[in-house]
Amino acid sequence: MVTGDVKLIGSWASVFVMRARIALNLKSISYEFLQETFGSKSELLLKSNPVHKKMPVLIHADKPVCESNIIVQYIDEAWSSYGTSILPSLPYDRAIARFWAAYIDDKWFIALRSILTAQGEEEKKEAIAEVEERTEHLEKAFIECSNGKPFFNGDHIGFLDIALGSFLGWWRVVELDANHKLLDETKTPSLFKWAERFCNDPAVKPLMPDTANLAEFARKLFPKPQP
Amino acid sequence: MAKKEEDVKLLGFWASPFSGRVKMALKLKGVSYEYLEQDIVDKSALLLELNPVFKKVPVLVHEGKILAESHLILEYIDQTWKNNPILPQDPYEKAMARFWAKFVDEQVGPVCFKSVAKPDKGIEVAIEEGQELITFLEKELTGKDFFGGKTIGFLDLVAGSMIPFCIARGWEGMGINMIPEEKFPELNRWIKNLSDIEIVRECIPHREKQIEHMMKVAERIKLA
């Protein structure tokens, strides 16, 4: 195991940064959190992630690791004897977890974000329908992966729980913006209950942003056109 | 223990770099498999049944387990058959291999093909932007035979199937040299090293046929 200090470049509002922080919490790793200022990028960020210039960046013993899901897997592997396993142990279960994580980032998240960027009511309705359809896929995925247990990963939160659960703050903000339930107890009951369990997990609770603060931040990030 | 060929099936498409890299991985591990060539335009009922979410190749079926998405298929193959490791052991090296593989498929692939086929900002800018991206990979290769070190690994399979034996051939069809030797000596050396490996040669598409295929894809991009 590599020892050395741990830094994380990020922002309180970022879903992707939260993934890394949850993983570090699960392994009880102390780290220095370097909060980026909204609207500008620090020298350290640009130097550590010259390819994408984006957060999160984990810096462990002076070596940077980028891309949230890659960081989470790195944390699991570099500190494999600490805390609970983040990735499942069997190769097939890992593949399934990675598959749905890819679906969340490539398909589901894009649909969620398009509600915020929708121009006009028609576009918004279409975006909402798309999110609902894709969330139903995730409901099925949860039932298959959890196998009756409380989380996608079984008894403890893991890679796929983190991949989706880190969106819960923004999920609520988009619900408010759309004025429409996007995590519906009747349509996706398993996910609905999972969401509450996830948010109450000690590794997650201190990190989940306050909905009002996040909604205000969302207005800065996705300004509505003036009438 | 010998595995029956029927235990492993691969649904693929001859010109797809994503399918090609899975073939390479299976050959590297000495795994016998049944290959099922797919029509990616008129998709088979089997493909749609096995990959209803993305409806794409490759799909690997192993002992009834269904896997889609090439990167995770490669990792599954690596964890299931332990000979000739594909991913590095060291967590940091592994993270780097995954990072660059994602970069190749999400940045290099799309930018280097779509923007050159339909150069909205002009062909010179498209070439410059594409070559700027592969400069990152040039730096990663410095002093190494392969991205994986002395032998081919995860990133070699991903970048190899995508760049020299797919995208660069598309550029060639359009009369442009994507990876000129004077600008990219390391990448050229790597391509030569890759071409010397029988497994790679056996799994890459036929050159002229692929150039023809890429030109058809370019036409579709232009019309879109």
The per-residue pLDDT for B111 is 86
- Assess whether pLDDT exceeds 60 at residue B4: no
Residues A11, A30: contact at Cβ < 8 Å?
no
Contact B98 A99 (CB under 8 A): no
What are the tens digits of pLDDT across the range B165-176? 999 999 999 999
DSSP A18-68: HHHHHHHHHTT---EEEEPPTT---HHHHHH-TTT--S-EEEETTEEEESH
Q: Averaged over A73-89, what is the pLDDT?
A: 97
Please tell me the distance from the alpha carbon of residue B98 to that of residue A227, in angstroms, as a whole number: 45
pLDDT for B183: 97
At A82, the pLDDT band (50, 70, 90 cuts) reads very high
The separation between CA B124 and the C-alpha centre of its own chain, rounded to angstroms, equals: 26
Q: What is the pLDDT of residues B17-75, one digit of tens each?
A: 999 999 999 999 999 999 999 999 999 999 999 999 999 999 999 999 999 999 999 99
* A175 Cβ contact partners less than 8 Å away, ≥ 6 residues apart: A181, A182, A183
Number of other residues whose CB lies within 10 A of the CB of residue B118? 13
Give Cα separations from A74 to A25, A96, A220, B211 (angstroms).
Answer: 14, 18, 32, 38
The CB density around residue A126, as the number of other CB atoms within 10 Å, is 14
Give the pLDDT of residue A223: 81
Q: What is the mean pLDDT of chain A?
A: 95
pLDDT digits (tens, 9 = 90+) for A34-64: 999 988 999 999 999 999 999 999 999 999 9
Q: How far apart are CA A93 and CA A129, in angstroms?
A: 30
Distance CA B17, CA B74 (A): 13
pLDDT of B1 > 70? The answer is no
Q: What is the mean pLDDT of residues B179-184?
A: 97
Q: Burial of B131 by CB count in 10 Å (0-12 exposed, 13-18 middle, 19+ buried)?
A: middle
pLDDT digits (tens, 9 = 90+) for A23-38: 999 999 999 999 999 8
Question: Out of B76, B94, B107, whose CB is closest to A95?
Answer: B76
Contact yes or no for B86/B97 (Cβ under 8 A): no
pTM equals 0.95
pLDDT per position as a tens digit, B87-145 = 999 999 999 999 999 999 999 998 889 888 998 899 999 999 999 999 999 999 999 99
Pairing state between β A6-10 and A32-35: parallel
**Residue A3 pLDDT exceeds 70:** no
Q: B94 in contact with A at a CB cutoff of 8 Å?
A: yes
**Maximum distance among all Cα pairs of chain A, rounded to whole angstroms:** 57
* Chain A contact for B99 (CB, 8 A cutoff): yes
ipTM: 0.94
Mean pLDDT of A193-209: 97
Give the gap in angstroms from C-alpha A93 to the nearest C-alpha of chain B.
9
A180 near B CB under 8 A: no
Lowest model confidence (mean pLDDT) among A3-17, A74-88, B145-159? A3-17
Residues from chain B that touch A66, judged by Cβ atoms under 8 A, are 99
Of A66, A74, A91, which has the smallest distance from its Cβ to B79's Cβ?
A: A91
For residue A63, the chain B residues in CB contact (below 8 A) are 92
**Measured between CB atoms, does A103 come within 8 Å of chain B?**
yes
Predicted local confidence at residue B150, as pLDDT: 94
- Confidence at residue A222, expressed as pLDDT on a 0 to 100 scale: 84
Identify the pLDDT of residue A221.
Answer: 87
Q: How far apart are CA A139 and CA A193, in angstroms?
A: 11
**What is the percent of chain A with per-residue pLDDT over 90, rounded to a whole number?**
91
Is pLDDT of A226 > 70?
no
Touching check for B73 and chain A: CB below 8 Å?
A: yes
Q: Which residues of B touch A91 (CB under 8 A)?
A: 75-76, 79-80
Test A91 with B80 for CB contact under 8 angstroms: yes
Judged by CB atoms closer than 8 Å, whether chains meet at A95 and B72 is answered as yes
User: How close, in Å, is residue B101 to chain A by CA atoms?
Assistant: 11
